[in-house]
Each structure stands twice: as C-alpha cells, then as structure tokens.
Structure 1
C-alpha cells in the first residue's frame, strides 16, 4: 500500500483549509498514493471558535472533502468538527474515498497540561476500523495515543494499520513523548502506525495561539516493530510511504503480544 502523510498547518478559514486538502491530495495522488492522511483539526485549527463551524457529515465542508476524494479517486482521512451534545462539538475524523465512508469521534479528550478539551468537545464512545482494498485500518486522534487499549482493540478487530491524527500541544518534552508514544503503540498492537500531526505554526512564521494545541509537526510512519519508516520535521510537508500489511502475520508470529495478553 502506498500512502501519504499530509503534515499541513491549518488556520481559521475553512475554505483556505479545504484548498490545502485539495492541494495535498492532488500531490499524493500524483505520487501514486491510494490513501492520504491529514491531521486533526484540518477543518479549523484549535485556538479558534469551533461550535459555530461544526456541521454534520453531510454538511458542505465534509461534502467538499468527499468531492475531492471522488474526483481524485483517493481515500482521504481528515479531522473536522461535528455537532455534539450540550452545545459542544465532536472531534471527528472523516474517512471518505472509493467505496469507503465512515467516521470516528475522538474518545479520549485532552484534559491535560492546562487544556480542557471536554469544555467544548463531546467524547466519542466506540472504536472504528475500515477496510481499504483488503487492509483493515483503525482510527485514533491525538490524546488517544496515550491509551494503548484503543490501539489493541483496533488490532483485535483486524487492523493491520492504526492511523492517529493529531494537533499536538507544544511544551517541554512533548516532542519526545510523541515519538515515544507512536512507536510504543505500534509495538503494543503490532500494527503499522501512521501518525499525522499539524505542522508547527512557528516554522512558517505564524504567531502562537496561546495554550491551544496547534501542532509541532514530527509526523511519522512506524513499523509494527516500532522502527520509524519516515519522520518529518516541524514544517509543512507531504511524505509518501510504501508499507506491506502482509508482514503483520509474520510479525505477530514472532511477537504474539495480542495472543499472549491477559486480562486482570
């Protein structure tokens, strides 16, 4: 499978962010990718209002992303915001492409490091996987990466690949934690992990959005034994990577952590 990781930097303007998705999806398609992964908050960056732009999965922004995927014959994963309960939104990953239509609502909300995502976001409740040309792929969002059980649940549901889309908060040690966590989740679940984060706004001269987690870059694709296959820097970038999901059977034969696991 050839996939692309689109490490973009979004802002407040939904139309401009949509154009970024079109541009990077076109580049991914030209490079032969069948899947292109965008970060969390691709619809609108954190640090901006969310409730006023949240829309259902058949709304205009999601429909436009769906149209891009159809036009290019490519599967797109992109972070958006859908209406939640109590005036909050849901932090949603839209997945759309040839014969594929699903979504995942972020389960673990980022109430940490002085940020309270649960003030404005309604948590999801169920893991989600989808099938792309015979490869099963699980979904996760940002803070989810700190919770191994989601990744192993996806693996037990058949996932050979886990995607985690993020807008990782900056701070002391946070880049090192991101690297550690995405590699650990690959080994925990014996899956490829495709970790796509927002680029660092400072890398292109944009001002800080205060405490809002607006991204640090460092997107990566990691093997099921925890080896980085590609690691990006802080700037916006498109990486195209070939992976072979068929190796998962061999890896799980050598490292049967899923089979050996015990419940306490």
Structure 2
C-alpha cells in the first residue's frame, strides 16, 4: 500500500472528570468519526485533582479498563485514539503518567519529564517513565509521542524526529497562569520549526488549564488553535507540505552536532 498523502486529525479539548468511570463512559460520545487520528488530553482517564493529591488509587494496569475502552472506541470509529491516564507502576504509590494509543497503532508512552516547575512537584506523586522514544507509523506518517512538560525539552523532540517522526503528538494538561498560553504556543511552534515537523498539541481547557489546543505545520504556521473552553478542532496534515518544508529549510540535513 502506498503512503497516504494526508492525515486527518481531531483534537478533543475537554476537561477530565475526577471520576474515572465518567471519563471512560464519555469516550464513545467524544471521539468523532471520519478522522485518522483523534487526540484527547493528558490525564483524561482521571484529572490530577488538587495539586499534590494522591492519584495512585486511580492508577490502572495496561491492559485495563481505560485502555480497553480506548481500543474499543477506536475500532468502532475506525480511527486511532491517543489519550492520557495514570498507569500502575512498580512503585505503587507513584504511578506513571501514560499515553495510550489504540486503533491502527498499539503503543504506550510513559511521560519522561515530570512537571517539577512553577511551584509544582509532579515527581512527588508520579514516577518518570524510562528514557525511551515512542514512535508509531500511521497512514504513511510517523508519530512521535510526548506529554505536556516534555514540550519544554527540545532534545526529546529532536530525538524523535532523528528516529523518523514527522508528527509530534503532545497531549497536555498545561496549567494556566501568567505567560503560560504564550509559552505553550511559542514552544509548540518552536518544536515544529526547528524540526520541520507537524505538532499536534491537545490540552485540557480552562479555567484550571490553558486550553489553546493547536496544530502547527512544519514551517511554523498555526493551522488551527482553540480558545480556553471545551471544543473539538480538526486539521489536515499534508505530505506535500512536510516534504516542501524540508526542501525549503533543510536544517535536519545541515546539522553538524
């Protein structure tokens, strides 16, 4: 089968409930049909709750109820779904912050960089994932998975692209505050520009989080950007745009370090 020339994506910018059953039961209504890739936010299976609160009681194994429902809905809709959850770890008091991707791909990514910044200490309650790069092929494109705070680490994005990623998928729960929307948008555009890659970044909405889910093309143009409320955004990623960007700005080929 020849690689497809485009990938249709949907970003579901929705707030996670504190009840995992509610979130699991909402999946079927939230995931739209007619898209190759549907991205939900970080921690969608259950929100973080109050800062510093214990989330270990909401951790699930993989396979488990949430991952199974993501797979079921993805199959029902004929799509690939990426969504965040807390996954049981060896240290049962500190689970992983994990993305599950189900549908045409079957991958799990455990967040490498924990959010010990801006007065928060995610590492007090969660375990960092191993330093492993999570990539998956989808419709002739290669996805590289990252989570929220990972966006502030250009070396991870570059490593994913060096291994073949041309779409960086970034589910998030980007905490609101001064300059935070500007950081979110600026960093998403920077990761796209410096790697001549698409960035598909889906966050939870306000008031706690910033919202502003967005898709950025490989030359840094914002194809779609949400506001701070709940909404579903759509965009089309085009192979010709990716190829032309890498011809126009061959920075990946010009690297010397």
TM over 0.5: yes
* Cross-structure match for 2:132: 126
Stretches of structure 1 that go unaligned for 5 or more consecutive residues are 203-213
Moved more, 238-247 or 38-47: 238-247
Matched, 1:172 2:178: yes
Residue 85 of structure 1 deviates from its aligned partner by: 3.3
Count matched residues.
246
Deviation (angstroms), 1:262: 2.7
Which moves more between the two structures, 72-81 or 82-91? 82-91
Task: Summarize the alignment of residues 86-165 of structure 1 with structure 2, pairs less than 5 Å apart.
Answer: 86=91, 87-98=93-104, 100-124=105-129, 125-165=131-171
**Structure 2 Cα separation of the partners of residues 37 and 189 of structure 1:** 21
> Map of 1:221-240 to 2, 5 A cutoff?
221-240=215-234
> 1:257 aligned to 240, 251, 256, which one?
251
Among 48, 73, 88, the residue aligned to 2:78: 73
2:209 aligned residue: 215
Q: Verify the 8 A CA contact 1:193 1:221 in the aligned structure 2.
A: yes
1:58 aligns with one of 59, 63, 67: 63
Structure 2: distance between partners of 1:172 and 1:52:
32
Tell me the CA shift for residue 224 of structure 1: 0.6
- Comparing 225-234 and 252-261, the one that deviates more: 252-261
Asked whether the 8 Å contact 1:160–1:245 carries over to 2, the reply is: no
Deviations 1:106-152 (A, max 9, x none): 11111001100111111112111101121101110000000111111
Q: Which residue of 2 aligns with 1:14?
A: 20
CA distance in 2 between counterparts of 1:183 and 1:21 reads 29
Gaps of 5+ in 2: 1-6
RMSD: 1.2
Distance 2:109 2:240 in 1: 25
1:57 deviates by 1.4
Change (3 A) 1:42 1:115: same
Question: SS in structure 2 opposite 1:111?
Answer: coil
1:10 Cα offset (Å): 0.8
Shift of 1:6: 0.5
1:19 CA drift (Å): 2.9
Cα distance in structure 2, aligned partners of 1:132 and 1:69: 14
Within the candidate set 235, 244, 255, 2:238 is matched to 244
- Residue 89 of structure 2 is aligned to residue 84 of structure 1: yes
| Runs of 4+ in structure 1 over 6 Å off | none
Residue aligned with 1:84, SS: coil
Q: Secondary structure at the match of 1:182?
A: helix
Are the counterparts in 2 of residues 166 and 215 from structure 1 also a CA contact under 8 Å? Answer: no
Residues 196-218 of structure 1: CA distance to partner in whole angstroms, max 9, x if unpaired?
00011x3xxxxxxxxxxx42100
Under a length normalisation based on structure 1, what TM-score does the superposition of the two structures give?
A: 0.90
Report the TM-score, using the length of structure 2 for normalisation: 0.92
Confirm or deny that 1:45 pairs with 2:50.
no
Question: Structure 2: how far apart are the matches of 1:180 and 1:247?
Answer: 21
Q: Secondary structure of 2:252's match?
A: helix
Q: Which deviates more from structure 2 when the two are superposed, residues 39-48 or residues 225-234?
A: 39-48
What is the alpha-carbon distance in structure 1 between the residues aligned to residue 121 and residue 256 of structure 2? 33
